């Protein structure tokens, strides 16, 4: 009876962890790009087309599977009420994924329960759960693949899951490839079901892109590469890496170029991993998979100048797994080790994420969302266009047709970037004549010819300032808002001719 009760500890931990993380929903910290995916889902609902602006097809979202999941939630709960149920769903999926991971690397039910909770309250885990991105479903699918496919040997899982994983994000080919290599080296044989599943995953994703959108890879990849690509010398590459890795390899995104905490944690993660793999145990098979994947994904994305922090959430967590195992399995002074880990790392990380979520949620939900709500009320004709960056909150809450300056949701601006990358913004304004411009800067200043054009054809409609949204009836919240003000000042212009 006691053994049955103990075996339920991990399930209880899943429930407790999900409930605990639901507190973060109160911060309204939702990632900008989530609203791009959700608008694509609603565009599918309204027009029957995967797009962003009416019946024009475009892969504006990085994830196809999550678009369909979001579509279903919109269908069930309605456009006004789907967000909270979807975020709860994401949190549940991610936490169940940590349950499967605990089964792969731990034996003791109590250890599994502690593992699930501690991993679930780390900053990347909180963000995966409540920011509205596709990583909750992605982490769940990846852990299902490892647990049921490679641990339980379910052949249908080895075939089906790579398809779903690739359809969630195309860059998961890195994860699938690392798992394949480690499996072959460990078992000295090839799982042909998995090979077939991988091939099917690549072909189905590429075929969907080609036959539906007329492109091999998602438009988001093409757009970012076109606008952000630069030529670097070897020295510049090294300098860029040293500037960037601290913020994206660790779990804290701190201001400045150097994050010493990251280096300390990286070294400890590596030492714990080496300690655990000294003996050939079955769980090391999975430790090799997740650890090599973590390092590989980090190195590839940092080397490609990928500065969006959500690319690093899953690797950050997987690289930290050996630390949790090491601490939980200490035979002597385990409580001391665990207390030190919680007091000096887990709790500070949780506090850091709480402050970050409150401040950023204020900057996004209470500030940037108000711009969209203002436009939604001010402009009744939803066929009017706005040129802006980024394409999340404001387009979603305004309902206006959108040109974003990166080209994620509108391909025509990419043509202007190809023609004249330096002047593509003003050229787009002159060619497309959008009714609204939302800019970080004062368009009446700068290049004389450009500023003269803006003064002639556009008037300043409203200024939006971060400083106007740093107040709260609760003094603690107000202090946090001032401690870490989040957002960007904007000027909204309207065409006068």
pLDDT per residue as tens digits for the range 411-427: 999 999 999 988 999 99
d(CA 218, CA 11): 37
Tell me, what's the pLDDT at 7? 83
184, part of any domain: no
Judge whether residue 205 has pLDDT over 50.
Answer: yes
423, part of any domain: yes
Neighbours of 75 (CB within 10 A): 13
| Boundaries of domain holding 456 | 359-495
Tell me, what's the pLDDT at 455? 94
Structural tokens at position 217: 């890879």
The answer to whether the beta carbons of residues 39 and 33 sit under 8 Å apart is no
Tell me, what's the pLDDT at 255? 61
Tell me, what's the pLDDT at 247? 65
Judge whether residue 463 has pLDDT over 50.
Answer: yes
Label residue 2 by pLDDT band (50, 70, 90).
very low
Neighbours of 257 (CB within 10 A): 12
295, part of any domain: no
d(CA 393, CA 395): 6
- State whether residue 258 is helix, strand or coil: coil
The answer to whether the beta carbons of residues 104 and 144 sit under 8 Å apart is no
Judge whether residue 133 has pLDDT over 90.
Answer: yes
432, part of any domain: yes
For the segment 279-333, what is each residue's pLDDT rounded down to a tens digit?
Answer: 878 899 999 999 999 999 988 888 877 778 888 999 999 999 999 999 999 988 8
Closest CA to 329 of 290, 286, 276, 372: 276
Tell me, what's the pLDDT at 254? 66
478, part of any domain: yes
384, part of any domain: yes
Cα–Cα distance list, 369 to 35, 66, 258 (Å) = 11, 22, 32
- In the chain, what percentage of residues exceed pLDDT 70? 95
Q: Which segment of 154-163, 224-233, 265-274, 464-473 scores lowest on mean pLDDT? A: 224-233
Cα–Cα distance list, 477 to 9, 198, 355, 361, 481 (Å) = 35, 48, 9, 11, 6
Those residues whose C-beta lies under 8 Å from the C-beta of residue 365, and which sit 6 or more positions away, are: 28, 29, 30
Q: What integer is the mean pLDDT of 346-357?
A: 93
For the segment 391-449, what is each residue's pLDDT rounded down to a tens digit?
Answer: 989 999 999 999 999 999 999 999 999 999 889 999 999 999 999 999 999 999 988 88
For the segment 224-263, what is each residue's pLDDT rounded down to a tens digit?
Answer: 888 877 777 777 777 777 766 666 667 776 666 667 778 8
Judge whether residue 357 has pLDDT over 60.
Answer: yes
For the segment 179-194, what is each residue's pLDDT rounded down to a tens digit?
Answer: 999 999 999 999 999 9
Q: Is 217 exposed, middle or buried (0-12, 13-18, 19+ CB in 10 A)?
A: middle
More confident residue, 250 or 67: 67
Tell me, what's the pLDDT at 1? 44
Integer distance in angstroms from the first to the last C-alpha of the chain? Answer: 79
372, part of any domain: yes
The answer to whether the beta carbons of residues 395 and 377 sit under 8 Å apart is no
Provide the mean pLDDT of the chain: 92
The answer to whether the beta carbons of residues 468 and 411 sit under 8 Å apart is no
Tell me the pTM: 0.94
Q: What integer is the mean pLDDT of 457-461?
A: 96
Number of independent structural domains in the chain: 1
233, part of any domain: no
């Amino acid at each position: 009876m006691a053994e049955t009760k103990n075996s339920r500890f991990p399930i209880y931990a899943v429930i407790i962890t999900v409930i605990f993380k639901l507190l973060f929903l109160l911060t309204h910290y939702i990632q900008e790009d989530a609203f791009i995916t959700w608008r694509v889902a609603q565009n599918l609902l309204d027009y029957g087309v995967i797009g962003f602006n009416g019946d024009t097809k475009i892969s504006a979202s990085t994830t196809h599977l999550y678009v369909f999941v979001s579509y279903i939630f919109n269908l069930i709960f309605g456009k006004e009420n789907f967000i909270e149920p979807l975020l709860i769903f994401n949190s549940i999926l991610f936490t169940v994924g940590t349950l499967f991971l605990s089964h792969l690397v731990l034996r003791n039910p109590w250890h599994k329960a502690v593992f699930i909770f501690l991993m679930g309250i780390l900053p990347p885990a909180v963000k995966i759960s409540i920011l509205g991105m596709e990583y909750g479903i992605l982490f769940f699918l990846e852990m299902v693949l490892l647990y049921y496919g490679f641990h339980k040997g379910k052949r249908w899982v080895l075939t089906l899951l790579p398809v779903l994983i690739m359809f969630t994000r195309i860059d998961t080919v890195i994860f699938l490839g690392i798992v394949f290599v480690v499996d072959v080296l460990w078992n000295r044989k090839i799982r042909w079901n998995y090979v077939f599943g991988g091939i099917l995953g690549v072909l189905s994703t590429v075929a969907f892109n080609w036959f539906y959108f007329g492109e091999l890879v998602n438009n988001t990849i093409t757009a970012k590469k076109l606008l952000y690509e630069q030529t670097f010398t070897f020295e510049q590459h090294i300098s860029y890496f040293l500037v960037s890795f601290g913020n994206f390899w660790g779990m804290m995104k701190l201001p400045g170029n150097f994050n010493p905490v990251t280096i300390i944690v990286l070294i400890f993660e590596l030492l714990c991993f080496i300690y655990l793999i000294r003996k050939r145990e079955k769980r090391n098979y999975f430790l090799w998979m997740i650890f090599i994947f973590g390092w590989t994904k980090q190195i590839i994305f940092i080397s490609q100048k990928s500065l969006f922090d959500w690319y690093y959430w899953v690797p950050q967590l997987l690289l930290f797994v050996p630390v949790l195992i090491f601490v939980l399995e200490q035979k002597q002074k385990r409580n001391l080790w665990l207390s030190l880990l919680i007091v000096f790392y887990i709790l500070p990380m949780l506090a850091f994420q709480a402050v970050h979520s409150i401040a950023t949620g204020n900057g996004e939900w209470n500030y940037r969302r108000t711009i969209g709500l203002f436009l939604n009320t001010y402009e009744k004709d939803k066929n009017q266009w706005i040129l802006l960056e980024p394409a999340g909150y404001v387009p979603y809450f305004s309902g206006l047709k959108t040109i974003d300056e990166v080209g994620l949701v509108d391909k025509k601006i990419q043509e202007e970037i190809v023609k004249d990358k330096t002047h593509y913004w003003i050229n787009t304004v002159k060619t497309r004549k959008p009714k609204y411009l939302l800019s970080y800067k004062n368009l009446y200043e700068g290049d004389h010819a450009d500023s003269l054009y803006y003064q002639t054809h556009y008037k300043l409609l409203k200024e939006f300032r971060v400083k106007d949204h740093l107040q709260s009836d609760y003094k603690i919240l107000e202090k946090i808002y001032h401690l870490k003000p989040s957002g960007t000042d904007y000027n909204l212009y309207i065409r006068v001719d």
